[in-house]
Chains A and B, each alone.
Chain A
Amino acid sequence: MTWELFELLLVASIKTVALSGLSIVLGFFLAAGVCAGMLSQNVAARRAGRLFVSFFRGTPLLVQLLLIYHLLPRVGIDVPSEVAAVIGMSLCTAAYQAEILRGGFGSVPKGLLEAADMCGIGAFDTFRRIRLPIAVRLTLPALTSELIMILKASSLVSVVGVIELTRMAQDLAASTFLPLPLYAAAGLIYLVINAVIASIGAIVERRVARGHA
């Protein structure tokens, strides 16, 4: 196990972090929309939201990734591996985040919404400015876990041809015949990244507990 090999793993881990991070952020906005749908008065929007969640939570990410990768070119959309990976992970995490947020929305005290109502704030602004931020604060621990889950699940995107951390370790293990140190190093890198995410989550939670942020 040389420094050069470790460096290759580190470079690949940047891709892991970038793709996961992008997916989490895109997934969050999608989740907010899906959640708004599930909580809406509109029956069609509610159905669509539930259908979305049950599909993307009910099928493995691996299958979703393969579907996207093979389906999109069929309908004439040629997507690079990275894009397919981000689409797949975003859709999948959106379903989980939507469910997490739905729980958070249920815990927003009714009085806070009545106050918004009495101030004349419309449904959309109340959602955007009051319900969503409070729901996010109430569900921060669960959202942090989801961030960690998706980072680990990103090892699956190698099936659509993305060379991320796990895949890089596999490739290097095969060519150098050093599987043990390489997988150990990859595991260590995942551990460090997730430790950083967890502590950032804890810091944000503590700030929020004081009312800040």
Chain B
Amino acid sequence: MTSSPAIRVRGVVKRYGATEVLTGIDLDAPRGEVTCLLGPSGSGKSTLLRCIAFLEETSDGLIEIDGEPLGYGPGSNGGRVRLPPASIRAVRSNIGMCFQQFNLWPHMTALGNVSEALVTVRKFSRGEAEARAMAELEKVGLAKRATHYPSELSGGQQQRVAIARALALEPKIMLFDEPTSSLDPELTGEVLNVMRRLAETGMTMVVVTHEIGFAASVGSKIVFLDHGKILVEGSPTQVFGKPRHARIDQFLDTYLDRGAAGLL
């Protein structure tokens, strides 16, 4: 049990009609570490992350969260069997997710967003839920903005509320899909700082990002996707260090961000 990775992906295939977007992915995300998914646009990063969250059905293959199969389990004759909804719900409750577009509920305050699932899912009383939500907002530095609606918050603040919302449910794994891509450069830092601190607490994280500086400094494992396949994976030094794969060189030319050059 202790040896199983936080996330184990085996032979995952995802097709949209005839196009194969993921072509047999094998991936382990080690417990307590940050795994960064990199790759050019359209390479399948979001699709893979969404499959891990079971927001997307895989066409084939198996995914295990903490040793528990998610969505499909191994079948008798080498195939796979669909698991009952209760099992999917239970396994999924270990996963928190943050999206590129934040996806805060616009009709609820920051506090409302963070406390909502505590009340409806965890059956906390309104008071308990709000106390708990307040503590989470405090951790992302937004206690003072608790009564603000999403439209009254900056993008960076909205993303931090979204992180607090996910963390309030005490997930074991946090998934991030380009959490800073829709932010102005000056707001990116505050979100990355929150994520960096979260990583220091030992949270298992899988982060799709174009922030190569962040990936190189916080990531312990870099996974480079290209055309639905894992092209290279390893530690930041293995992946970014020289000599490096020609595709990575090309990719770095396109995406290399400020401050990252010094880290490589």
Q: A interface vs B, CB < 8 Å?
A: 109, 111-112, 114-122, 125, 129-130, 133-134, 137, 208, 210-213
Contact = CB atoms under 8 A, between A and B. Distances in A.
B120 A129 contact: yes
A118 B165 CA distance: 10
A119 B121 contact: yes
Contacts of A213: 107
Contacts of A133: 107
A68 B106 CA distance: 41
A208 to B, nearest CB: 8
Given A129-B120, A211-B151, A118 B95 contact: yes
Given A137-B107, A211-B149, A213-B107, A118 B120 contact: no
Contacts of B93: 120
Interface stretch (B4-12, B30-38, B97-105, B190-198): B97-105
A72 B120 CA distance: 40
A114 B165 CA distance: 13
B151 A115 contact: no
A103 B107 CA distance: 18
B99 A111 contact: yes
Interface residues of B, number: 27
Contacts of A137: 106-107
Interface string B205-216: 000000000000
B151 A210 contact: yes
Nearest to B113: A115
Contacts of B169: 119-120
B245 interface: no
Nearest to A213: B107
25 contacts: A109-B103, A111-B103, A112-B106, A114-B99, A115-B99, A116-B117, A117-B55, A118-B92, A118-B95, A118-B166, A119-B117, A119-B165, A120-B89, A120-B93, A121-B117, A122-B121, A125-B120, A133-B107, A134-B107, A137-B106, A210-B149, A211-B106, A211-B107, A211-B149, A211-B152
A111 B101 contact: yes
B203 to A, nearest CB: 16
A102 B162 CA distance: 28
Contacts of A210: 149, 151-152
B116 interface: yes
A115 B103 contact: yes
B133 interface: no
Interface in B20-76: 53, 55
